[in-house]
Each structure stands twice: as structure tokens, then as C-alpha cells.
Amino acid sequence: MKTPVIAPSILSSDFARLKEEVDEVIRAGCDWIHIDVMDGHFVPNLTLGPPIVKALRRHVEATLDVHLMVECPERWIPAFVDAGADILTVHYEATPHVHRALQMIREAGLKAGLALNPGTPPDGLSYLVSDVDLVLVMTVNPGYGGQSLIPSTLAKVAEVRRMLDDAGRQDVHVEVDGGIHAGTIRRARSAGADVFVAGSAVFDELDRAKAIEALRRALDS
């Protein structure tokens, strides 16, 4: 089983103090930072773009795990590559050319992620198992932090892990995203996830190191 990774999502951080916020979770031992890019079309919220990723890249060594909740993500891949993203995850539902989008990410030398909304069956993954380095299973409907995990998505986590292992892709990360906190992380781990996005569970707390430690303890419980 892959070593668990906690990836704090900056969506719930104080954007006016972003560098300090990110430094704080890195000091607490996190080496992935989850960055939610929303365009107000694919999801009903608007967040940030390549300049913020570029600014963070100048200051942090952490893995920048960029979650593109945007229509036609293939249009944005070059800009986020130039900005310094390490992982670019595109939504299966966001383009008719998802295979091409994944190819573009890899051709640029980055890790390619495929995201599945709660209502999307994992069947399409069977045609893409060779083209992904990460599968992000949305455990909430995308667009906002602080939502509750949708229990039915955990069966999909297990199905995705099984599909990847059956295809000999044990190397591919399975990331869960949305509603992950000390009360849900263990179930997500048991279902087969190894990367755990945590936004409000970390940044809504005053003591982030304590919040991250609580997630780690819950993982081991």
C-alpha cells in the first residue's frame, strides 16, 4: 500500500497571507500543496490562475498539485506548465479531448491526473490507465471547500484502485478530494486512497500543525 500523502488545499487558506499559510503546512511536514483552479464555468466558483502558481513556485519546493476545474483544460495546460506546476489534473467531464489533455501534460514533463466527479462512473478510466499518473476521485461536488464527503464515492475509490492494480499500474496515485477530515480519512484510506486533499480540515483550524497531526493519527487508527 502506498505511503499516505496529506495535500492541504489552499482554497480554505487566507489568500492575503498565502506564502505564510503554505510555509506553515510545509513546516508541519506536508510536501504536497493542492491548488484548486476554478473558472466559474465548469464549476460555479472562480478562484485563481497561473500567476498565483508562478508566485508560489518562486517560494516553495513542495509538489504543486494543481486541480483544474475548468472547461477545455487543454487550453490552459501550457500556462500552468510555464507557471511551474508539478501535477496537472484535468476533469474527465471538462473536455471531449481528455486523452489529448493528458498527453499534453506528460509531453510537457509533468505528472498527469484525471479527476472524476461524484456522478461520473469510472468506466472511462479503462481506456486511460496508461495515460495517468494520478486519479482524483471527487468525494464532494466540485466548487467549494467545507462540504461533507459523499459516502457513495468511497466505492468508486475502491473500484479505481482495483482497475489500476488490474492494469499493473500500482504506481498511480489515487487521490480523494473533498470532505476529508479526521472522521473520514481512515475510511478513504481503507477504500484505497493514498493522497488526501484537506482544505477546511487544515486551514479552518488555528493550529495547522495540530490539525495535520490529527489527520495522521486518524490515518493510523
Ligand X SMILES: O=C(CO)[C@@H](O)[C@H](O)COP(=O)(O)O
**Of residues 9, 47, 63, 95, which one binds ligand X by CB under 6 A?**
9
Query: Min. distance of Cβ 37 from Co ion in angstroms?
Result: 9
Alpha helices by DSSP H, listed for 46-180, are 50-59, 77-83, 98-107, 153-166
Q: Is 192 annotated as a binding residue?
A: no
Query: Min. distance of Cβ 39 from ligand X in angstroms?
Result: 12
* Residues in 28-67 at the binding interface with Co ion, rule: CB under 5 A: 36, 67
31 is catalytic: no
C-alpha distances (whole Å) from 62 to each of 7, 80, 104 are 10, 16, 22
Q: Is 9 annotated as a binding residue?
A: yes
User: Distance between CA 44 and CA 54 in Å, rounded?
Assistant: 24
Q: Is 119 annotated as a binding residue?
A: no
Give 48-86 as a DSSP string. --HHHHHHHHHH--SEEEEEEE-SSGGGTHHHHHHHT-S
C-alpha distances (whole Å) from 31 to each of 51, 52, 99, 195 are 21, 18, 28, 11
* Residues in 24-63 at the binding interface with ligand X, rule: CB under 6 A: 34, 36
Query: Which residue is it, cell 505511503?
Result: 3
Task: From 49-57, 74-82, 100-108, 178-186, give the range in contact with ligand X by CB under 6 A.
Answer: 178-186
- 185's enclosing H/E stretch is helix 185-191
Residue nearest to ligand X (CB): 199
194 is catalytic: no
Q: Which residues sit at the interface with ligand X, rule CB under 6 A?
A: 9, 11-12, 34, 36, 67, 69, 140, 142-147, 177-180, 197-201
Q: Give the residue ranges of the annotated binding site for a divalent metal cation.
A: 34, 36, 67, 177
Q: Which residues sit at the interface with Co ion, rule CB under 5 A?
A: 36, 67, 177
